[in-house]
Amino acid sequence: MVPPSEDEGTSRRNFYVVAIYGFWAAISAALGLPALVYLLFPPKAKKVDEWIEIGDIGRLALNSPVEMTFRRTRVDGWKVISEKSTAWVVKGAGDQVTAFGPQCTHLGCAYHWEESKGHFLCPCHTSLFASDGKVVAGPAPRPLDRYQTRLNGNRLLLGKLESPEKKS
Amino acid sequence: MRRRFRGVNEWVEHRTGIQSAVRQFLYEEIPASSGWHQVFGSVAMFLFMVQAFTGALLAFNYAPTPGDAYNSLRYILTELTGGRLMRGLHHWGASMIVVVVVLHMLQVFLYGAYKKPREATWMVGVVLLLLTLAYGLTGYLLPWDNRAYWGTVVTTQIAAQAPVLGPYLLRLLGGEGEIGVVTFARFYGLHVLLLPPATIFLMVLHIFLVRKHGVAPLPGDEAQPKKKFYPQQVFKDTVAIFIAFAILFMMAVAVRVPLEQLADPTDTSYIPRPEWYFLFLFQMLKLFSGPLEVVGSVVLPGLAVLLLILVPFIDRGQMVKVTRRGVALAFVLLAAIGWGGLTAAAVRSTPKETLAAAVDFSGPTDWMQLSPEEMVGIAYFRKENCVSCHAMGGHASAEGPDLTKASIHKDAAWMIQHFKRPSAMRPGTSMPPIQLTDAQLNSLAAFLLKLNEKNATALDNAPDFAVQGALLYQTNRCGGCHLVNGGGMRIGPPLNGLSKRQSRGWVEAHFADPAKMVPGSIMPPYKLAPKDLENLTSYLFALPD
């Protein structure tokens, strides 16, 4: 076998190297991009916005938050589950009713109302919220999230949970 | 900048030696005769990595328990973008890896590359082939559809036939009694926890042995100057890998992998068939019967594997040119003819129905779109045997008019009067009165109004479970609270898409005691006979979303 000349050998070698990288790049892209789409795109299932009736608020005292529990159905992956959920409901002046989501806006712990001190306390990192949801102290970055509310006589209906800051 | 980069490089090289290890691997000397015939090993390894990758992605959205497995796979296929592609890659990749591993083996066999000192490399390779088949066997169950369920019933029963070990194997596979959660967990555990590390270990050992003894040269090649693995042979391997991947990708995109009905242990009409690469074993089993059956199911395959492992010790001669290995070639041809013949016979014996059994979720079939009332009409249509006189399109010889013709469809009130006293509405007709209540006649009329030439066959083929299920739905007045296909009430949840939300077991338990499954539910309990419960649940599960 006659050894190829130096130049010819190098250019053929370069071709091999470029082709190897090219093929592997194509394979990685054809596998990697669909994988990212598969993992990151949300499922197609449409979410239905429905109002859930959670109870009678006729007996609530003014500015005294009460935890109300209710059941809601939620799409959870390949299932629709029925789960217990809660809201902290506060009746303000002039028939105004606010329902807060039950999780602290810092890292999602469950907070509670301290009747004697008159604020919401999150036990994890001692965030404090006023009865209107505003941050009083602690690491919480934003006021408590609120459910959309609707009244049907004295019956309270809850809609989507959203942050009051996003709305404004 | 460049100097700093080189500094980092030198540090990594000094502390780990990775670069020189990679260089040593790539610049391995291989015989001058190496070339395109030796690419299959690399392709098989690549396909294994594709399987591991797509398998992990599927596992991210998969619940490995019966029932949930089916629902979550359906979720992957219908709800997730790219889900169908991932499953397609994994499904067809499994077939492809079998093909490539066998090609790899054929090449080594034909060239006699298993000869001294490479006997151990060959034997490890045979074990890797068995592992590849074990993936196919265990993965087959994981979709938990009818195909998966019935295929595994047969598999475990075959394992049980093994002499001495049979009962223990069956117990290990959790296949005593019925195939259920235990078997499923074991198959899943094998498929994702035990087989992959075993494969990786043996692959590393296999490659180590290849490197230890060097790539097998052709006879007379030893004197030629050696060449390097990189870049020429790596280029050839890469091209082969790319071609294999391109074929796999196109199949995953173009060929739809079916998901059949949810596994139904009571479905006596289902004819199970194994994956195509096991069809020859399936067909061979038919050649043996009675006490000889074990020969076809266990003894012969066992002997074949043993023979395969012992190949290097049976053929101990010197390496010769491929063209002079006539016996080996004859052996391969014989095996190919045997395999091809058995597979062809098995394919020919497969009834068309099992091929068409896949449920097409892309669009509901005609009967799924009927209301329960119209479905009940089918029940009475069958009970009264209307087709004994009426044509359903096609047969012109029938006595009564063709019911699929729109021209004979009057309104429901006319039809009900006609059913009660046919001659009053059509003087001179020979049709006898139908002895049914008004409500029943109403259903029959509702169904006939929906019937047309296009859907006649589809509606005529509406499965019995659905018709019976709809009948139960109607007689128990489920529509008083629930919505199906847009008809009924909204007091309870709509029942379309129920199969996506709940497992079969959950729904059946819910019928018996709704308040236990959904605290506060106002639905009364329904004590249904087992067959009724099954029909009703199957019907509800078949409804379109």
CA distance A120 to A134: 10
CA distance B190 to B138: 7
Cβ distance A41 to B82 less than 8 Å, yes or no, reads yes
Residues A24 and A57 in one domain: no
Report the residue from B57, B78, B518 with minimal CB separation from A38. Answer: B57
Which amino acid appears at position A142 of this protein?
R
Residues A97 and A35 in one domain: no
Residues A32 and A65 in one domain: no
Report the residue from A43, A71, A79 with minimal CB separation from B501. Answer: A79
CB atoms within 10 A of CB B272: 16
The answer to whether residue A156 sits within a structural domain is: yes
CB atoms within 10 A of CB A123: 11
For B66, counting Cβ atoms within 10 Å of its Cβ (0-12 exposed, 13-18 middle, 19+ buried), the class is buried
Closest-CA residue of chain B to A30: B249
Domain region containing A10: 1-41
CA distance B365 to B459: 9
Residues A57 and A2 in one domain: no
Cβ distance B519 to A45 less than 8 Å, yes or no, reads no
The predicted pLDDT at position A23 comes to: 97
CA distance B155 to B169: 11
Residues A62 and A143 in one domain: yes
What domains can be seen in chain B, in order of their start residue? 27-356 (1.20.810.10), 366-542 (1.10.760.10)
Which residues does chain B have within 8 Å of residue A16's beta carbon, measured at their own beta carbons? 231-232, 234-235
Chain B residues contacting A via beta carbons under 8 Å: 32, 50, 53, 57, 60-61, 63, 68, 71-72, 74-75, 78-83, 85-86, 89, 224-225, 231-232, 234-235, 238-239, 241-242, 245, 249, 493, 500-502, 518-520
The answer to whether A110 contacts chain B (CB < 8 Å) is: no
The predicted pLDDT at position A5 comes to: 57
Closest-CA residue of chain B to A74: B501
The answer to whether residue A47 sits within a structural domain is: no
The predicted pLDDT at position B394 comes to: 60
H helices, E strands: number in chain B: 26, 4
Q: B114, B312 in Cβ contact below 8 A?
A: yes
Q: Which segments of chain A have a pLDDT < 70?
A: 1-7, 45-49, 80, 166-168
* Closest chain B C-alpha to A85 CA, distance in angstroms: 13
Instruction: Return the CATH number at A66.
Output: 2.102.10.10
Report the residue from A16, A30, A38 with minimal CB separation from B235. Answer: A16
The answer to whether A38 contacts chain B (CB < 8 Å) is: yes
The answer to whether residue A107 sits within a structural domain is: yes
b/e for A147-168, b at 16 or more Cβ within 10 A?
bebeeeeeebbbeebeebeeee
Which residues does chain A have within 8 Å of residue B80's beta carbon, measured at their own beta carbons? 38, 41, 43-44
Q: Which residue has the tokens 């699929």?
A: B404
DSSP state string for A80-137:
EEEEEEEEEEEE-STT-EEEE-SB-TTT-PBPEEETTTTEEE-TTT--EE-TTS-EEE
Residues A97 and A19 in one domain: no
* Closest chain A C-alpha to B232 CA, distance in angstroms: 6
Closest-CA residue of chain B to A13: B231
CA distance readout (Å), A111 to A65, A67, A85, A122, A144: 12, 11, 14, 4, 10
Number of inter-chain CB pairs under 8 A, A vs B: 82
Cβ distance B86 to A35 less than 8 Å, yes or no, reads yes
The answer to whether residue A139 sits within a structural domain is: yes
Cβ distance B235 to A19 less than 8 Å, yes or no, reads yes
Residues A28 and A72 in one domain: no
The answer to whether residue A105 sits within a structural domain is: yes
* Closest chain B C-alpha to A36 CA, distance in angstroms: 9
The answer to whether residue A34 sits within a structural domain is: yes
Query: What is chain B's pLDDT, residue by residue, as a tens digit (545 residues)?
Result: 678 889 999 999 999 999 999 999 999 999 988 899 999 999 999 999 999 999 999 999 999 998 789 889 988 998 899 999 999 999 999 999 999 999 999 999 999 999 999 999 999 999 999 999 999 999 999 999 888 998 888 888 888 888 888 889 888 888 777 788 899 999 999 999 999 999 999 999 999 999 999 998 888 887 888 889 999 999 999 999 999 999 999 999 999 888 887 787 766 777 888 889 999 988 888 888 888 888 888 899 999 999 999 999 999 988 888 888 999 999 999 999 999 999 999 988 877 654 444 444 444 457 788 888 888 888 888 887 787 777 776 654 556 777 877 556 667 788 888 888 887 777 667 777 888 888 888 888 888 888 877 777 777 778 888 888 888 898 888 888 888 887 777 778 888 888 878 888 888 888 888 888 887 788 888 888 888 888 888 888 888 87
Residues A22 and A102 in one domain: no
The predicted pLDDT at position B360 comes to: 45
Rg (CA), chain A: 29
CA distance B465 to B468: 5
Report the residue from A1, A24, A39 with minimal CB separation from B238. Answer: A24
DSSP state string for B87-131:
HHHHHHHHHHHHHHHHHHHHHHHHHTTTSTT-HHHHHHHHHHHHH
Report the residue from B86, B231, B245 with minimal CB separation from A27. Answer: B245
Residues A60 and A143 in one domain: yes
* Closest chain B C-alpha to A86 CA, distance in angstroms: 16
Cβ distance A19 to B74 less than 8 Å, yes or no, reads no
Number of domains comprising chain A: 2
The predicted pLDDT at position B544 comes to: 80
The answer to whether residue A46 sits within a structural domain is: no
CA distance readout (Å), B405 to B270, B380, B385, B409, B451: 34, 20, 18, 7, 8
Best interface-test mutation with B: which of A12, A13, A14, A38 has the largest number of B CBs within 10 A? A38
Cis peptide before B231 (omega within 30 of 0): yes
Which amino acid appears at position B300 of this protein?
L
Residues A15 and A35 in one domain: yes
Which residues does chain A have within 8 Å of residue B226's beta carbon, measured at their own beta carbons? none
Query: Of the candidates B241, B243, B254, which has an alpha carbon nearest to the alpha carbon of residue B88?
Result: B254
Residues A30 and A109 in one domain: no
Closest-CA residue of chain A to B520: A71
Residues A79 and A134 in one domain: yes
Best interface-test mutation with A: which of B238, B361, B496, B541 has the largest number of A CBs within 10 A? B238
